[in-house]
Amino acid sequence: MFMEGFKVTLIASLIALVASFIIGAIIAVMRITTIAPLRWFGAAYTEFFRNIPLVIIAFFFFIGTPTLGIRFSGLTAGAIALSVYTSAFIAEAIRSGILSVPKGQLEAARSSGLTYIQAMRMIVLPQAVKIVIPPIGNQFINLVKNSSILALIAGGDLMYQADLISAKTYIVFDVYIFVALFYLAITIPLSLGVGYLEKRLAKSH
C-alpha cells in the first residue's frame, strides 16, 4: 500500500511539475505583454490562484465540476489543482526573471526580425529561467509536499494510503514517520538536482 501510494504521488507530482512550469511561463509572458486583455488575464490568474487555498481548488475539480457534467478521478483532479495553483507562483517567479533581463535584448531581437513570441522563447526566457532557478526549485519542492492534498479527494497517494493503514492497524506514529521518509526520498534528490542545475547554468552563463 505504501508503494502504491508512493507511485501515485510521483505520477501526480511529475504531471503537475511539467504542467505548472508550462502554464507559469505562458502566464508570465502574458503579464508583461503590451496587449492589455492578455496582461489583465495574466494578472487576474496569478492573483486569484495565489490567494485561495489549494484545498478549495482540489475540491472544485473533484466535487464541483461533476455538477457541470465533468468528472475527474481523484488523481486527475489533484494533478490539475496542483498545476494551476503552483503555476501562479511560478509565473510570478518567471516574470521577475524576465524583468531582470535588459530590455535592450528584446528590442534587439525584434529589430532583427523575430516576432515577440520568438524573441521571448529564444532570447529572453532562457536567461530569465537561469535567474529564477532557485525560487522555481523551491516551488517544485512545495508542489511535492502539497501533493498530500490528494488524500482529501481519494487520490490514492501516500497520505491516503497512510490513513487507510493507520485505520486498519491502529498504528499512527510509525505510519506517518514512514510516510515522511517517502517524501524525503523525493524532495531531497529534487533539492540536490536544483542546486546542481543552478551551478551548471551559472557556469555556462
Q: Compute CA 126 distance to the chain's CA centroid, rounded to the nearest angstrom.
A: 18
Return contacts of 59-66, CB within 8 angstroms, 24+ apart. Answer: 59/152, 59/153, 62/153, 63/153
Given this model, what pLDDT does residue 200 score? 77
96: domain CATH number is 1.10.3720.10
Amino acid at 45: Y
Residue numbers in the chain where pLDDT is lower than 70: 201-205
Residue 112 covered by a domain = yes
Residue 72 covered by a domain = yes
Residue 181 covered by a domain = no
Q: What is the model's pTM?
A: 0.86
Residue 176 covered by a domain = no
Given this model, what pLDDT does residue 26 score? 92
Rounded to whole angstroms, how far apart are CA atoms 172 and 166? 5
Given this model, what pLDDT does residue 204 score? 62
Residue 94 covered by a domain = yes
Place of cell 537561469: 130
Residue 185 covered by a domain = no
Domain count, the chain: 1
Residue 3 covered by a domain = no
Residue 180 covered by a domain = no
Rounded to whole angstroms, how far apart are CA atoms 113 and 165? 61
Given this model, what pLDDT does residue 108 score? 84
- Which residues span the domain enclosing 55? 11-155
